[in-house]
Amino acid sequence: MEYQLIDGKATATAIKQQIAEEVKNIVANGGKQPHLAAVLVGHDGGSETYVKNKVLSCEQCGFKSTLFRYEENTTEEELLACVDRLNKDEDVDGFIIQLPLPKHIDEQKIIMAIDYRKDVDGFHPINVGRMAIGLPCFISATPLGILTLLQHYHIETSGKKCVVLGRSNIVGKPMAQLMMQKQFGDSTVTVCHSHSATLKEECREADIIIAAIGRPDFVTADMVKKGAVVIDVGTTRVPDATRKSGFRLSGDVKFDEVAPLCSYITPVPGGVGPMTICSLMKNTLAAGKKEYYK
């Protein structure tokens, strides 16, 4: 079967260009340049890369960006004080605290301290709750990016059977919520996790599989029905001596054997990843325009 590769990189580039155009117009008309702040604690390699790419994307979109760095041994109080400052800083439209945080810091406490009107990651319970009942809000970037990709490629989701693998707060749960809702996916949704007894059977019946578990090559050909749409969120660093970096990124889907069965499939890298950052830019633009909250 001839499958179509979903190009997240090209889609994200096109959307960022549209955002840049809009920002140019806003500024030309005397409006405020959107400003995203990012807080990075410690020196985790993955987090460093993500934040670097976020700052780069801000430049591409014509946003102002500010990066605040804290050492690994920063206390919870120091970080809460930083959140408080950013909440009050009138020039900052939105900000993100790059996760994961060091073990001695209570992540949930930090997220709760963020002013939901600046929570462009969409992790605050007010945004999560508003999303769940279909009110305007900041939607978590990865699920929003996946929805945007499905729309961009005109992939029919209404009435389809969708299986979401993984139930994390940042990907699996919001993804399942969005795919279920009438105004977004409008699909029949099943969520599978590490204790699902019938995971393979559920996958085999799915029109759309969204894999977000972080287990390289987990989804194999025997789990995918012909013509399915497969979205691979997984990005696990796998040691690879042939690469300069010493690793390569591996998705949750065994691409070579699954792709020939699919109608559409995302690659890793170049699929969901670039769309996640693109969605953060969309949320920052909305924050700058005070689109959801005054």
What's the alpha-carbon Rg for the chain, to the nearest Å? 19
Nearer to ligand NAP by C-beta: 57 or 82?
57
Residue 217 bears catalytic tag:
no
Question: C-beta of 231: minimal distance to ligand NAP in Å?
Answer: 10
**Cα torsion 4, 9, 10, 16: sign:** positive
Query: Which member of 7, 16, 54, 93 is catalytic?
Result: 54
Count CA within 13 A, CB hemisphere, residue 66.
13
Residue 54 bears catalytic tag:
yes
9 CB neighbour count, 10 Å cutoff: 15
Nearer to ligand NAP by C-beta: 187 or 266?
266
Which residues contribute to the site for ligand NAP (CB under 6 A)?
A: 142, 165-168, 170-172, 192-195, 199, 212-215, 233-236, 272-273, 276
Question: C-beta of 81: minimal distance to ligand NAP in Å?
Answer: 27
Q: Which two tokens stand for residue 259?
A: 């792709």
Q: How far is it, in rounded angstroms, from Cα 168 to Cα 205?
A: 23
Question: C-beta of 30: minimal distance to ligand NAP in Å?
Answer: 35
Residues 152 and 18 sit within 8 Å (Cβ to Cβ): no
Question: C-beta of 27: minimal distance to ligand NAP in Å?
Answer: 29
Query: Which member of 121, 207, 232, 252 is catalytic?
Result: 121
81 CB neighbour count, 10 Å cutoff: 12
Residue 98 bears catalytic tag:
yes
Query: Which member of 98, 252, 254, 282 is catalytic?
Result: 98
Catalytic residue annotation:
54, 98, 121
